[in-house]
């Protein structure tokens, strides 16, 4: 088994007391029902003393005829359901977490169908009495996608959407009328629904930066960008992540201009690895990545998928490393270098072909939802695996978090 390492620098940490988990390392959380179908159960595989305080927030997806889709808060050890909410048949949830809205703690998630270019859904806000108090919909004719729903200190929401249009790709060896899928970022006022900011990838990023092969037909939409995250960064700028360009973009929140980009074919930073760390087969820090998290001081974490689920056929959509991981990166704006500081590998060295997140905690721990893999993990401040749980085959949670919740 590869050693799991996570830099002590991964979080600007103020240590908090961790509670010991003393129950045996096997067992399953109780399933909850919506109509005739339960939410998928969780089986705890590893539960060592020292896990961080707080409940687990997961959103197991629906499996037709077997499990309902929905959201669920599990106890610290993953064995007890604190609260759950199942969705109507055919719908799934994503990005379930605790946030703050108008000074009060709330529960938020996206619900709908599809994830990515075909998504049709809405973001919802529930109060601490489990009553729905707000909905957020994409504006300007778009439909909200489930990859991100982030409430800002201004009581606005940062959300994502996808736009299908036609583009002339003859300069790339493609047709003059290729259907493409652009990534859209919106900031929406939660109370009024007004779109305050909108950014479209095609206005700022060349199609040539994509790592995604062109489709065989002009009528098959080319998902060249695949936006999957937007975060608030230093100075009020936005950090936008695109899986299919292998790049994170620092965006001016005022003008939408790309200030710098990390990774991909046009990185603003030279990439290198600290001693003991490994770049992938193309000498990149990450590939097909998700969920950048700004930590301050030039530090960022990324969920590094390293795969898009396509066999190595020479098309470019291949596994660059044979396993997924979470990487911590240090940016030096003076020398224009990005250094892979540390990595926490998937416990069984498995590859997540899509989705995924990493939540750095204040005590230096890291909670990971392994995307398309049916696992949730927690690593300690020294990279040790403290907690690992598994959903049934065919079920995943996209992202997973740990929060205190009353």
The 10s digit of each residue's pLDDT in 68-104 is 999 999 999 999 999 999 999 999 999 999 999 999 9
Can you give the pLDDT at residue 4?
42
Residue 117: which pLDDT band, with cuts at 50, 70 and 90? confident
Residue 2: which pLDDT band, with cuts at 50, 70 and 90? very low
Q: What percentage of the chain has pLDDT greater than the value 90?
A: 86
Report whether pLDDT(192) > 50: yes
State mean pLDDT over 306-323.
68
State mean pLDDT over 46-58.
97
Domains of the chain: 8-403 (2.130.10)
Between residues 13 and 125, the one the model is more confident about: 125
Q: Which stretch of 142-156, 189-203, 300-314 has the lowest confidence by average pLDDT?
A: 300-314
Task: Look over the chain and give the mean of its residue pLDDT values, rounded to a whole number.
Answer: 90
Can you give the pLDDT at residue 36?
82
Report whether pLDDT(312) > 60: no
Can you give the pLDDT at residue 23?
32
Residue 406: which pLDDT band, with cuts at 50, 70 and 90? confident
State mean pLDDT over 114-120.
89
Q: Read off the pTM.
A: 0.90
Report whether pLDDT(217) > 90: yes
Q: Structure tokens of 130?
A: 């489990």
Residue 22: which pLDDT band, with cuts at 50, 70 and 90? very low
State mean pLDDT over 46-63.
96
Residue 251: which pLDDT band, with cuts at 50, 70 and 90? very high
Q: Which stretch of 13-22, 53-62, 75-84, 188-197 has the lowest confidence by average pLDDT?
A: 13-22
Report whether pLDDT(184) > 60: yes
Report whether pLDDT(145) > 90: yes
State mean pLDDT over 197-225.
97
State mean pLDDT over 183-194.
98
């Amino acid at each position: 088994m590869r050693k799991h390492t996570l830099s002590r620098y991964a979080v600007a940490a103020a240590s908090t007391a961790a509670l010991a988990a003393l129950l045996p390392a096997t067992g399953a959380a109780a399933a909850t029902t919506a109509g005739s179908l339960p939410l998928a159960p969780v089986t705890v595989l590893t539960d060592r003393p020292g896990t961080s305080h707080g409940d687990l927030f997961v959103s197991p997806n629906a499996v037709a005829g077997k499990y309902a889709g929905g959201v669920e808060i599990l106890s610290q050890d993953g064995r007890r359901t604190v609260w759950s909410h199942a969705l109507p048949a055919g719908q799934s949830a994503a990005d379930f977490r605790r946030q703050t809205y108008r000074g009060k703690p709330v529960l938020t998630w996206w619900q709908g169908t599809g994830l990515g270019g075909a998504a049709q859904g809405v973001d919802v806000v529930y109060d601490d009495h489990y009553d729905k108090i707000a909905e957020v919909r994409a504006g300007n004719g778009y439909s909200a996608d489930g990859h991100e729903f982030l409430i800002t200190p201004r009581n606005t929401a940062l959300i994502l959407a996808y736009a299908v249009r036609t583009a002339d790709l003859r300069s790339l060896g493609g047709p003059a009328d290729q259907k493409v899928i652009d990534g859209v970022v919106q900031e929406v006022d939660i109370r009024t629904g007004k779109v305050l900011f909108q950014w479209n990838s095609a206005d700022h990023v060349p199609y040539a930066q994509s790592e995604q092969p062109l489709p065989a037909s002009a009528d098959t939409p080319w998902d060249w960008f695949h936006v999957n995250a937007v975060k608030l960064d230093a100075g009020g700028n936005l950090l936008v992540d695109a899986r299919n360009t292998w790049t994170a973009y620092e965006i001016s929140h005022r003008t939408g201009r790309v200030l710098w980009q990390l990774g991909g074919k046009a990185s603003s930073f030279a990439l290198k690895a600290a001693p003991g760390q490994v770049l992938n087969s193309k000498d990149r820090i990450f590939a097909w990545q998700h969920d950048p998290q700004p930590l301050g001081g030039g530090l960022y974490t990324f969920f590094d998928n390293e795969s898009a689920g396509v066999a190595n056929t020479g098309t470019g959509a291949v596994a660059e490393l044979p396993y997924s991981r979470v990487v911590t990166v240090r940016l030096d704006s003076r020398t224009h270098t990005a250094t892979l500081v540390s990595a926490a590998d998937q416990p069984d060295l498995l590859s997540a072909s899509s989705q995924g997140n990493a939540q750095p905690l204040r005590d230096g721990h890291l909670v990971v939802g392994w995307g398309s893999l049916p696992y949730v993990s927690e690593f300690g401040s020294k990279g040790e695996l403290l907690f690992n749980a598994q959903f049934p085959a065919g079920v995943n949670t996209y992202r997973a978090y740990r929060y205190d919740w009353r």
